[in-house]
Amino acid sequence: MATPIFVTAASIAAELHQAMLEAKGLALTAKNARALAVRAGSKTVGFKAITHFIDELASDIIRQSQYINGVSEHLSHNAVALWRASTAAEKFDWIATQHSDNIASLHHAMQSCYQQREALSHTLSRGLRELEQQLEEGDKHIRTANLIATSSKVEAASAGDFRNQLEVIAQNITDTADKIRAHLSQARRLLGQRQKHTP
């Protein structure tokens, strides 16, 4: 049985929430790296410059995760409303097959229920498309994070006494980027699975 959209969307929101927490960790890493770079002085000028990029990237990811989180939560509510309208519509369909006596008197309520179902399912597919685009955006951030991590490692190698500490930070960036990527791909997997079942 297909997972209902409202469960999928809520799960996506949860993944993005985790991604956002990781990005907050990344912002902290950037702050530590900058403090270290300042103390290290001239040997780490390159690294210091990179910390600005890390910081910027972290706040981009946080902003975007929060946005996707909002979109998917909204989507989940929307899907619940759609489920309720569809449930009522299915009951009306069944009632319509039962007898004809006063069925005409339900016409108005049935029509507005069907219209509501239509409108909600329209909003829902638009929301799902937007979600897909946003998750693709997220992948771009991951590619940037990987570039930054590589540059950090290069800069760390020439940082003399601070080499070890900076290497730890560079590794930290790589690990965090991996975790965020895992959350994003899990979100995309959930979305893809859902769309297979949605005509």
Partner 1 sequence: MLATTLYEDGDHRWIMFARDPQKAEGIIDTNQYMVQSGDQAILLDPGGIELFAPMLSAVLKFVPAEHITHLFASHQDPDIISSLGLWDQALPNAKLYSPWLWESFIRHFGMEKIEFCAIPDEGMTLNIGRIQLQFIPAHYLHSSGNFHVYDPKAKILMSGDVGAAMESTDAPLWVDTMSTHIPKMRKFHQRWMPSNEAKLDWIRRARQLDIQIMAPQHGRLFQPPHVQEFLNWFEDLPVGIAIKG
Q: Which residues bind partner 1 (CB under 8 A)?
A: 84-85, 87-88, 91-92, 94-95, 98-99, 101-106, 109, 112-113
Return the number of the residue (21 or 89) whose C-beta is nearest partner 1: 89
Nearest approach, Cβ of 81 to partner 1 (angstroms)? 10
Return the number of the residue (49 or 119) whose C-beta is nearest partner 1: 119
Nearest approach, Cβ of 116 to partner 1 (angstroms)? 8
Return the number of the residue (91 or 197) whose C-beta is nearest partner 1: 91
Return the number of the residue (99 or 196) whose C-beta is nearest partner 1: 99
Nearest approach, Cβ of 96 to partner 1 (angstroms)? 9
C-alpha 152/C-alpha 7 separation (Å) is 39
* Residue 31, token pair as written in the block: 């702050």
Nearest approach, Cβ of 78 to partner 1 (angstroms)? 15
* Residue 148, token pair as written in the block: 């930054």
Contact 174, 52 (CB under 8 A): no
C-alpha 129/C-alpha 26 separation (Å) is 28
Return the number of the residue (109 or 119) whose C-beta is nearest partner 1: 109
Nearest approach, Cβ of 130 to partner 1 (angstroms)? 26
Residue reference for tokens 């937007």: 130
